[in-house]
Amino acid sequence: GENVEQHPSTLSVQEGDSAVIKCTYSDSASNYFPWYKQELGKRPQLIIDIRSNVGEKKDQRIAVTLNKTAKHFSLHITETQPEDSAVYFCAAKVPNTGFQKLVFGTGTRLLVSP
Amino acid sequence: NAGVTQTPKFQVLKTGQSMTLQCAQDMNHEYMSWYRQDPGMGLRLIHYSVGAGITDQGEVPNGYNVSRSTTEDFPLRLLSAAPSQTSVYFCASKGLAGSGLYEQFFGPGTRLTVL
């Protein structure tokens, strides 16, 4: 079945720096890759996603890139702010499931220091 | 819309007790699911449903039952609680977002402790 690995497990940056979180997946047929942000004690919330028919997607300060050949995708946050501090999860959709069956990475705790 | 709601927010059980975690959504979504979240392990799918009357197992279904008698409700039952079931449980539903694409919406979570 699908397996998703996420690195690093923790990431500390200074405010204004960029942050990059990387994920790899195992099933080359996976075609949907969402990223979730979870603040302390809150529910995960979708922040950006990408489908396998594109290589990059941007939304203001966040972007996601996808390399289908290498089976990895990355989250890029530019000009980080203290409110970006949270745990970020990547996920991959299990192929050939009508239901959006997602396999999640183990999460990256991002800390942005003022 | 209230979105996805869960009750209770917190629960403490003794080993062997049974209980039901409630989940409801008012967005008329067909797809609903239950995840558990443990430190260092991300979110793992327990059970899911693609519509009323239809349920299926996820990655970690043992010790849990679900039913889907209505589109709105998707309760998760713990038959005989064990300490290994101590976790935070999230219910989610999937439907069309404002973007016009499908998105998974999570409930606020239930923090369960089994002693």
Query: What tens digit of pLDDT does each residue of B7-23 get?
Result: 999 999 999 999 999 99
**DSSP bridge partners of A42:** none
Share of chain B above pLDDT 90, in %: 82
CA distance A6 to chain B (A): 10
Kindly state whether B54 is in contact with chain A, defined as any CB-CB distance less than 8 angstroms: no
State which residue of chain A sits closest to B38, comparing Cα positions.
A106
Task: Using pLDDT thresholds of 50, 70 and 90, give the confidence band for residue A23.
Answer: very high
- The residue of B32, B37, B87 whose CB has the most chain A CBs within 10 angstroms, and thus the best one to mutate to test that interface, is B37
Q: Are A110 and A88 in contact (CB under 8 A)?
A: yes
Residues of chain A neighbouring B50 (CB-CB closer than 8 A): 98-99
In this structure, which amino acid lies at residue B44? R
